[in-house]
Amino acid sequence: MSPVHHIPSARPIDLTRPDERPSGVWRYSSHLALVLGGGGARGAYQVGVLAGLAERLPGLAFPIIAGTSVGAINTVYLAAHLGALGEAVAGLRDAWAGLTSEGVFRLRLFGLIASLARKGLASVTGLGGGGGAGGVRGLADTTPLREFLSRGANLRGITANIANQRLRAVAINATSYTSGRSVSFVQAAPEIPMWERVQRLAVRTEISFDHVMASAALPLVFPAIRIGDEFYGDGSVRQMAPLAPALHLGARAVLAIGLRTPRAAHVPTQEMVSPTAAEAVGLLFDAIFLDAMEADAERLDRINNILAAFPEGQPAPTGLRAVELLMLHPTRDLAALAVGKTHLLPASVRHLVRAIGGHRAGAAAMLGFLLFHPEHTSLLVEAGYEDVGAQWPVIEKFFEKLERRTDKTVF
């Protein structure tokens, strides 16, 4: 009689450990997306939130990442990193710690004045006859930003991560000056389809620094970027549905990091003072960078509520599906962190900001977008990190629900 050999059962795979997780398998969901919007220097807040999440959620990974403007900068860094999310965020945090306004742009006041005298406003925008050789093409030179990107991210990592099924898709969103459409530049697994809708479409490509530069090119301030036969600028300008690219790429659950701060009830003051140009610009920046994501999140919530009201077994309308959404917001006024810090701006920028009323407390919104300086951005990172703790019950509930899902493998 042959002896009986007891074969020990294999230890279950620990999905909380990226080194044990097979390629194409995720701890939470293969349909989980991260969406990062615009907001200038406030993008440091996104880094703080991600640091808090990576620390509290071992094994967290985002198969789908979509970014716009400064969110595109953070997106490309995360998508290109070959290690675990925590390592990527640590590197991104270090990169932000050394970032200054001079490391993003240089204001070209003398070139601007000379070009305006010779050729007029078209030389500033770069979209008219003055945008050719010798034109200023924007108030600022963004060569430092391109250098910052090239030092921090090896874009071949995106290709490697997709090939190794550590990443499903990445989208960088920009606005075409040529067509007026919102364009998502997408690098993704070959089976993921592209899309075209009214005033927005996806273009399959290999992500380059040109795509990121275009996504972050604030009109008039930063020069337009030519990609192919079109010129592109900041993706926030025409992006009415910031969550849509992630949904088109297959997301069934979305974590979006908003940068809109809580608004206190308006209390009229005794003295009514006309807003300065800086205060008006701050309001304009809010409208461009912050409002659309909030509105899109409300639309998604309404769709989810409509679908939840359908009787069990009754099919949903074509093209609609329920999507889990976690929208994280700052619990404090991020603009207030920039108050009294005008002196941290480069001299040329500081003089311009003061000339348009940037010294007033009401101009803090504009200043908060422009102030890339460790004394400011470190406070934003800290605020994001602390907000993960403050909002942890909601965050934990979201991820516990995802962990019970069965869609852990590639789709």
User: What DSSP string runs through 193-216?
Assistant: ---EETTEEEEE----HHHHHHHT
Q: What is the mean pLDDT of residues 234-255?
A: 95
Identify the DSSP state of 266.
P
pLDDT of 117 strictly over 60: no
pLDDT in tens, 145-154: 999 999 999 9
The topology (CATH level 3) of 18-114+137-263+275-404 is Cytosolic phospholipase A2 catalytic domain (3.40.1090)
Q: CA-based angle 267:257:288, to the nearest 5?
A: 60
How is residue 185 written in tokens? 């530049």
pLDDT of 359 strictly over 80: no
Taking the C-alpha atoms of residue 45 and residue 368, their distance in angstroms, rounded to an integer, is 11
Element (H, E) at 187: strand 182-188
pLDDT of 389 strictly over 80: yes
Q: What is the pLDDT of residue 23?
A: 66
- Compute how many other C-beta atoms are within 10 angstroms of the C-beta atom of residue 161: 22
Q: What is the pLDDT of residue 282?
A: 81
Sequence ranges of the domains in the chain: 18-114+137-263+275-404
Q: What is the mean pLDDT of residues 324-328?
A: 96
pLDDT of 3 strictly over 50: no
Identify the DSSP state of 74.
H
**Does residue 397 sit in helix, strand or coil?**
helix
Taking the C-alpha atoms of residue 87 and residue 94, their distance in angstroms, rounded to an integer, is 11
Q: What is the pLDDT of residue 354?
A: 82
First to last CA, the chain: 48
pLDDT of 8 strictly over 60: no
pLDDT of 362 strictly over 90: no
Taking the C-alpha atoms of residue 110 and residue 119, their distance in angstroms, rounded to an integer, is 14
Q: What is the mean pLDDT of residues 131-142?
A: 61
**pTM attached to this predicted model:** 0.87
Q: Are strands 140-141 and 106-107 parallel, antiparallel or unpaired?
A: antiparallel
Q: What is the pLDDT of residue 2?
A: 42
Q: What is the average pLDDT score of the chain?
A: 85
pLDDT in tens, 334-351: 999 999 898 998 888 888
**196 touches 108 (CB < 8 A):** no
pLDDT in tens, 35-93: 999 999 999 999 999 999 999 998 999 999 999 999 999 999 999 999 999 999 999 99
Q: What is the pLDDT of residue 110?
A: 53
Phi, psi of 67 (to 5 degrees): -140, 150
How is residue 259 written in tokens? 């940068």
